[in-house]
Amino acid sequence: MSPATYRSPLLDLPGAVEAEVPDTGVAAHYGNPFAEQKLLAAGEGFVDLSHLGVLRVSGADRLGWLHSLTTQQLEGLPPRTTTMSLILSPQGHVEHAFTGYDDGEAFWAWTEPDRVADLVDWLDRMRFMMRVEVTDETAEWAAMQAGEAVELVARSSLPSYAEEHGPPAGIWAAEAQRILAGLPRLGLDTDHRTIPNEVGWVGTAVALDKGCYRGQETVARVHTLGRPPRRLILLNLDGSVDRLPARGSDVVLDGRVVGFVGSSVRHHELGPVALAVVKRNVPVDADVLADGVAAAQEVVVDPEVGLHVRPRLR
**How many other β-carbons are positioned within 10 Å of the β-carbon of residue 78?**
9
Burial (CB count within 10 angstroms: exposed 0-12, middle 13-18, buried 19+), residue 203: middle
Q: Give the whole-angstrom CA distance, residue 113 versus residue 124.
A: 18
Mean pLDDT per block of 10 residues along the chain (314 residues) reads 87 98 97 97 96 98 97 96 98 98 97 96 93 97 93 97 96 97 98 97 92 92 89 97 97 98 97 98 97 97 64 42
pTM of the model: 0.93
User: What pLDDT, on a 0 to 100 scale, did the predictor assign at position 307?
Assistant: 41
Domains, the chain, ordered by start = 9-52+142-180 (no CATH), 229-301 (2.40.30.110)
Q: Give the pLDDT of residue 308.
A: 41
pLDDT at residue 148 in the model: 81
Q: At what angle do helices 33-41 and 171-180 cross, to 10 degrees?
A: 60
